[in-house]
Amino acid sequence: MVGRPDHERLFILKLHPSTSNFRMSNNGEKKMKRIALCFLLPASCFLLLLSCNKGTTTAVVVPANPTEVVATVNGANITNADLDIAIKGRLQRVDQEIYEIKKGALSELVETTLIEEAAKKQGKSADDYMKENIEDKVSAPTDEDIKKFYDQRKEQMGGKSFKEAEGQIKAYLEQSRKQAVRAQLLNGLKASGNVKVLLSPPRIEVEVGDNPSIGPKNAPITIIEFTDYQCPFCSRVRPTIKQITEEYKDKVRYVLRDFPLSFHQFAKKAHEAARCAGDQGKYWDYSNELWAHQQALQPDKLKEYAKATKLNMKKFDECLDKGKYTKEVEENVAYGASVGAQGTPSFFINGIFFSGARPYADFKVVIDQELNK
């Protein structure tokens, strides 16, 4: 699905919900089902309080005392500081969700303003302007268009026959054509309207540590990826990472941090093996072997790849068999969760959270924005 327009991915998801470009942890899947309610409900209550309050009193939020005891267990104290550490990752994910909501709403406000101004200049209502410049310019999809779309994506239709999917495909094609014309119209309005978006995404301080990296340490852009050698979406994004490190050679430092998911049976040991290869200066050579053989990461295979990478097998076997890096990999996973990583691949571009096997163009937008600051 990577590389398709977002609206097409959503269409395919409706027909075949198992398709995604992001592998989430078990806990993450459960949390995502609740997250909208978990943070939108308090937000709506807060807005309700503001709208219902007729007084002039201004609420002052007093920061919690980090040493304040919030619970005791058999005489042991749990403080606000302990609580903050425990929920840090979750709060950062909520901050990101709030930003995405604001970003979407801001985009709609900007577009609405541009359309209203353009309509006013022509002495028309916004609805008439939109009808004339969008709806009237879109042709209805033909039977041939619908059949061609179905044939090209038959495997992604969740087993639906052409007759079952025909209505949905027709509606989708009509809508996507309208969206394309609308996007073209808005791009023109934005270009002539001198639009500047100043909303900044939340930034999370993520440590590089002594994890393997490519690129200069003093590069203006640092991309940290929490990844899983058994994750298909992590594998899918490898060409994009390669393109970034080649095209932004002196401007980007790419850092790989371990984040093997618990339901990937062989991932954790694969990450340990890569670090053992790193002891011999061949982390990236061995890493490439793991991505190339992602479907076969059993322990005996890990040693085969070590031979293919021409490692000192005695040193490699001792490192892997004794679990030299078991603790370090586990600590990486815990740290990733603490900064908001919930699945793989999860990226932080100069602290800006960025998830999923996104196309190169998506990365380029963020990287160029950071470089142009």
Question: Hey, which residues does 352 pair with through a beta bridge?
Answer: 203, 349
Question: What element of type H or E holds 2?
Answer: none
Q: How far apart are the first and last CA of the chain?
A: 32
Query: What's the sign of the alpha-carbon dihedral 90, 92, 95, 97?
Result: negative
Residue whose token pair is 């609308």: 182
Residues 354 and 363: beta-carbon distance below 8 Å: yes
Strand pairing category for 352-355 and 69-73: unpaired
Q: Where are the domains of the chain?
A: 112-193, 213-371
What Cα–Cα distance (Å) separates residue 17 from each residue in 6, 172, 345? Answer: 15, 16, 19
Distance, CA of 242 to CA of 287 (rounded, Å) = 13
Residues 339 and 348: beta-carbon distance below 8 Å: yes
Residue 225, helix vs strand vs coil? strand
Strand pairing category for 252-258 and 221-227: parallel
Q: Which listed CATH number (3.40.50.720, 3.20.20.140, 3.40.30.10, 3.40.50.360) goes with 213-371?
A: 3.40.30.10
* H and E: helices and strands count for the chain: 14, 9
From first to last of the 373 residues of the chain, give the pLDDT tens digit.
444 444 444 455 455 544 456 666 655 544 443 333 333 334 333 333 333 333 444 556 667 898 999 999 999 999 999 998 888 878 888 888 898 999 999 999 999 999 999 999 999 999 999 999 999 999 999 999 999 999 999 888 889 999 999 999 999 999 999 999 999 999 999 989 888 888 888 899 999 999 999 999 999 999 999 999 999 999 999 999 999 999 999 999 999 999 999 999 999 999 999 999 999 999 999 999 999 999 999 999 999 999 999 999 999 999 999 999 999 999 999 999 999 898 999 999 999 998 899 999 999 999 999 999 8
Could you tell me the pTM of the whole model?
Answer: 0.68
